[in-house]
Structure 1
Amino acid sequence: MTGKLALFTFIASLAAPIAAQAQNFDDIIDASLLSGWRQSDGSHMAAIRLDLEQGWHTYWRAPGDAGIPPYFDMSGSGNFKSFQVLWPRPEVYEQNGLRSIVYHDSVVLPLRIVPTARGQDITLNAEIEIGICKDICIPKTLNVRAVLPAAARARDALIASALADRPDTGKEAGAQNVTCRISPTRDGVALKTTLTLPRVGRSEAMAIETADPLLWVGEPEMKRSGNALSSVTQIQHVEGAPFILNRSGIRITVLGESRAVEISGCTGQ
């Protein structure tokens, strides 16, 4: 499946019966801001909380074949230099032969925000575009606004819990010998990854990302033998253009039922 086809699959899933389209979906999801605390390095730790109606889900940063990733627009913010979403561990969801990587019911997404001027309040104005799904999928645009006080020091328990639920790094999990072999194909490249990693759960899944948002990455075919874990996947440019795959920008995430591991970069093979 190409990147365009993956996006088309999501858009096509928006086509619902006329009766379903007539429903009011405004109350399915609620977005709120947890204002958090100012850190010793001058950055601010806040979070966006998404609460969905029971049974609905939204998507992780790499959503799989049947979804779209959240998009954050912070351009209306004040005293705002940059931000990073610190994604908690998602779960794997399969429906109609397609795999998605999702959050169900409720999720807190920590935001590490760097202000332009240290020691000053931050005015956060965030517009978030997401897809939410149950029997049908619909796009939603959410807006949250708040002042993040420079004087705030108390840690928020919900944000701290979400930070604790982030994937372990490869170093923390004991990952070793992470290699990538890249082979050209007619439409792009085939990527084979190999690494040594103890099991992260009874059942495991893998997601592979690249540093280029215009590259579509297929669902990896994963194999494990003891601590040896390998995968093969296809990578294509969504516009059919030629590309160079940067190994240092490859991110491998191994997902278990209650734990995940995120590995950045790989060496040649």
Structure 2
Amino acid sequence: MAKAPPVAISLGMIRALTLALAATLGLFQATQAPAQSPDLVQADLRPGWRLADGSHMAALHLRLAPGWKTYWRTPGDAGIPPVFNWSGSRNTAHVDVLWPAPHVFRQSGMRSVGYSRELVLPLRITPSAKGGPIELHTEMDLGICSDICVPQTLRISASLPASGRPDPVIASALASAPFSESEAGVGQVRCTITPDRKGLRLRAEIDMPRAGSTEDAVIESGQPGVWVKEPATHRSGGTLVAETKLRHLEGKPLMVDRSRLRITVLGSDHAVDIKGCNS
């Protein structure tokens, strides 16, 4: 596995950053503590609106300092995965994080996957009781990286409005999500899994139109404790081929459920989200 990037602050200092997230009309309450790196990221919570099915659409809006980036749910070998803790929320049965299509970054021969400049991260919140007030409390751990990485912790406390108009900024972020298989014209997805000395090898052959002049694949195992190496990706006519290795982080025997594999193709024109293999 690749070595983690150097950390600019000690672990004892990571928790020192608490950003205040506020919105208009006094609907949102948060606290702010002294920050070690206050200029690297500015964060707001976009309050959003209630949907017809009773769920609520909101979003985190992160603005990054020039030259800095943060990471997607699968950050690549050189990134820091974001972690969310929604405990303490009220009337919140579930929170779905709806990721916009990320970008691929390459530095010092390593690949990372994430966002630069800003990230609007939509949140679809399913309440326990429809129509009631929603209190959202979360703690988000994330990495903000340039030549070095600075772990940050954002803490949010918010009372979400019971109505509200659709937010075009959130709508734009939702529209930038990867295409589904049907939207992108994906055909057969063939996955061949073979053993090797330390785990498994995976070769995925995906019949699909080009997603752009350059294409990268990100493969998620769908299983905890399984590390997936950055795939080698190439084209063979109308088929995209991605090959990688899978390892269990604790060295345990490894079996892969093809139906739980998730392959995201990141192209220069658009991204495609592929769930499971046909064979």
TM-score by length of 1: 0.91
State the distance in 2 between where 1:60 and 1:74 align.
18
Query: Do 1:120 and 1:149's aligned partners in 2 also have CA atoms closer than 8 Å?
Result: no
- Which residue of 241, 244, 252 corresponds with 1:233? 244
- Which residue of 102, 108, 112 corresponds with 1:90? 102
Structure 1 segment 72-151 matched on structure 2, within 5 A: 72-151=84-163
State the distance in 2 between where 1:28 and 1:140 align.
9
Structure 1 segment 1-269 matched on structure 2, within 5 A: 1=1, 6=2, 9-10=3-4, 12-14=5-7, 24-152=36-164, 154-268=165-279
Q: CA deviation at 1:27?
A: 2.1
Q: CA deviation at 1:70?
A: 0.7
Amino acid in the other structure paired with 1:207: V
Which aligned segments of 4 or more residues in structure 1 are displaced greater than 3 angstroms? none
State the distance in 1 between where 2:74 and 2:229 align.
11
Match of 2:29 in 1: none
Q: CA deviation at 1:151?
A: 2.5
State the distance in 2 between where 1:238 and 1:26 align.
35
State the distance in 1 between where 2:278 and 2:87 align.
36
TM-score by length of 2: 0.88
Q: CA deviation at 1:15?
A: 5.5
State the distance in 1 between where 2:233 and 2:269 align.
19
Name the CA shift for 1:218/1:15 in 2 (closer, same or farther; >3 Å).
same
State the distance in 2 between where 1:70 and 1:84 align.
14
Q: CA deviation at 1:84?
A: 0.9
Match of 1:19 in 2: none
Amino acid in the other structure paired with 2:244: T
Consecutive unaligned residues of structure 2, counting only runs of 5 or more, are: 10-34
Match of 2:18 in 1: none
- Deviation by residue 1:5-45 (Cα, 9 ceiling, x = unmatched): x4xx22x42168xxxxxx94222112211111111111111
Q: CA deviation at 1:226?
A: 2.3
Query: Do 1:31 and 1:144's aligned partners in 2 also have CA atoms closer than 8 Å?
Result: no
State the distance in 2 between where 1:53 and 1:15 align.
16
State the distance in 2 between where 1:170 and 1:261 align.
7
3-state SS of the aligned residue for 2:188? strand
3-state SS of the aligned residue for 2:173? helix
State the distance in 2 between where 1:243 and 1:32 align.
41
Query: Do 2:200 and 2:254's aligned partners in 1 also have CA atoms closer than 8 Å?
Result: no
How many residue pairs align between the two structures? Answer: 254
